[in-house]
Structure 1
Amino acid sequence: MATSEVIKKSIKNGSPGIRVDDRQGQLLEIACRLFARQGYKGTSLRDIADEAQITKAALYYHFPNKEALYQQIVLESTRALVDAVRESVARAAGPVEKVRAFMLTSADVFEHTRDAWVAGSNAFWDAEGTGPRSAAVGQRDEYEKLLRACIAEGIQSGDFRPVDPAIAGRLLLSTINQLSRWHSPKGPLSPRQVIEQYLDIVLPGLQAPASKR
């Protein structure tokens, strides 16, 4: 099963992490966890093989090299994020609800696919510009442009102040992007609850005065 389909199923079922029965999926789950905790450079194919209790040669049967494995995780998890957010935004009634749908769906994806999210984030911020990072940039741009479009729609409709959509988008995305640095799964608030509080703080400043709507 493709990583993106596994992630979508995980989000729909509300179950954290990648959980699959097929062998390749299990290897992806292990690799996700190690890449998230140890980084790309800090994780070897030997680490993944040892964790999976298979030989390195057996791992090569499924993936030709470490970059191919990492790239599959990064690209498919990012694709699943974009697809999930796009579907949620399409169902929302207006600009304000579209922004909320974008942010809350992103929080849900983070919660249910935390390791894949962190692995993808690490690749995106890799200063050396690895293959996975280069390939993920286009999908990340698509993700950010979707949020900017929601904000721009709100400005045009009069629901939002005439702000720069790119700046407003970066402000909102920073709340999501920082979750992996401090949020604990054992904490009192879920990612969705955290983002709901952020939205309660940020959205009133973004919305136009009631008299101008």
Structure 2
Amino acid sequence: MAKDNRQRLGRAEARDKLLRAAARVFLEKGRGATVEDIAAEAEYSASALYKHFSNKDDLFRCLWHRVFTEMIEVFTNEPPMDLPFVGRLKWTLYSIAEFAENDRDLFLAAMANSPIAESPMTLDEEFLEKHHQMRDAFNQLMSRGIEEGVLRDYDPATLAMAMGGSLQALTGHWALEGPFPLKPHMDDLIELFMNGAAKKPED
């Protein structure tokens, strides 16, 4: 039966099934997971897995690329309606929350296998290109806030790093301590970003 199922799957569907199986196995066994473990979880043979991925490291790296590509789409897609800066920022962060919560295994396994900690000299061109796409999209969002007069006239890249660092810290906390609803925490991030954390002197 499994063989017939594999025959009906196209290449993209088969890769998706294997990536999702890899995510589940990784979250259960960590880097001790084997190709055989992943293939069995996907109801494939190891030889069938090797038709799509060269080895376990290639599979985990593709897992990260898959999630990172979807993250870029969140940042580059246009909202269904024209929104001012704060509404657009909220729409973007909520979209990330929905993606993380709806595809938690994939999201967490990808975060754990991110090549971001590697030396910049070892990062492949595809990863760097995707990183630049996300960076540029976030910078453009911050530029919009400056143009609307709701953000101070900082370098957009500085603002993007401030918001992006907070977002990364939140998703990391969610990965380690969650799951918990992300959207309320996204609201808190936006409030802190827009109003600052310092207590205002009393009048």
Scaled by the length of structure 1, what TM-score is found? Answer: 0.69
Asked if residue 154 in structure 1 is aligned to residue 145 in structure 2, the reply is yes
Instruction: Give the match for residue 194 of structure 1.
Output: 185
Q: Among residues 112, 116, 128, which one is paired with 1:125 in the alignment?
A: 116
Distance 1:144 1:94, change over 3 A: same
> Which residue does 2:161 correspond to in 1?
170
Q: In structure 2, what is the Cα distance between the partners aligned to 1:94 and 1:112?
A: 27
For the pair shown, which has the larger CA radius of gyration, 1 or 2? Answer: 2
Shift of 1:93: 1.8
Aligned pair partner of 1:104 in 89, 94, 97: 94
- Gapped runs of 5+ residues in structure 1? 1-21, 207-213
Percent identical residues? 20
Q: Are the structure 2 counterparts of residues 143 and 104 from structure 1 closer, same or farther at C-alpha, using a change threshold of 3 Å? A: same
Aligned-pair CA distance for 1:185:
4.4
| 1:70–1:132 CA contact under 8 A, matched in 2 | no
Structure 1 residues 103-153: Cα deviation after superposition (integer angstroms, max 9, x where no partner): 222222222223333333332323256977653232122112212111112
Q: Which amino acid aligns with 1:152?
A: S
1:88 Cα deviation from its structure 2 partner: 4.1
Contact 2:64–2:114 at 8 Å: present in 1 too? yes
1:115 maps to which residue? Answer: 105
Per-residue deviation, 1:195 = 0.7
Check 1:165–1:90 CA distance in 2 against 1; reply closer, same or farther (3 A cut). farther
Correspondent of 1:83 among 73, 86, 95: 73
| RMSD (CA atoms) | 3.0
TM-score (structure 2 length as normaliser)? 0.72
Q: In 2, Cα distance between the equivalents of 1:56 and 1:196?
A: 45
Q: Tell me if the contact between 2:23 and 2:105 (Cα under 8 Å) persists in the aligned partners.
A: yes
Q: How many pairs align? A: 182
Task: State the secondary structure of the residue aligned to 1:62.
Answer: coil
* SS of match in other structure, 1:162: coil
Partner Cα distance (2:82, 2:195) in 1: 19
